[in-house]
Amino acid sequence: WDLQTGQLRLILRPPIGQGDVGRLYGVAIHPSLPMVALGGNSIPGGAQQKIYLFNLTSGQLTQAIDAGAGEIKRLAWSRDGAVLFAGYADWNGLRGFDSGGKLVYEQATAGSVYGISVGSRDRVAATDFSGKVHLVRVSGATVEKLATFSVQARNPISVSFAPDEGALVVGYRYHDIGPDVIETSTGRVIRRLSPSGALEGNFGTVTWSLDGKTIAVGGTAS
Burial class of residue 192 (count of CB atoms within 10 Å of its CB; 0-12, 13-18, 19+): exposed
Helix-strand-coil split of the chain, %, nearest 5: 0, 50, 50
Q: C-alpha distances in angstroms, 190 versus 142, 159, 169, 181, 183?
A: 31, 15, 10, 6, 7
Q: What is the DSSP string of 60-82?
A: -EEEEEEEESSEEEEEEE-TTSS
Closest C-alpha among 104, 132, 133, 131 to residue 119? 133
Closest C-alpha among 59, 55, 50 to residue 15? 50
- Taking only Cα atoms into account, the Rg of the chain, rounded to an integer number of angstroms, comes to 17
Tens digit of pLDDT at every position of the chain (222 positions): 999 999 999 999 999 988 888 899 999 999 999 999 999 998 876 678 999 999 999 999 999 999 999 999 999 999 999 999 999 998 999 999 998 999 999 999 999 999 999 999 999 999 999 999 999 999 999 999 999 999 988 899 999 999 999 999 999 998 888 899 999 999 999 999 988 788 899 888 999 999 999 999 999 988
Integer Cα distance of 90 and 109 in angstroms? 11
Q: C-alpha distances in angstroms, 129 versus 71, 114, 171, 187?
A: 14, 8, 11, 17
SS3 label, residue 25: strand
Integer Cα distance of 207 and 191 in angstroms? 15
Neighbours of 163 (CB within 10 A): 15
In this structure, the strands spanning 205-208 and 189-192 are unpaired
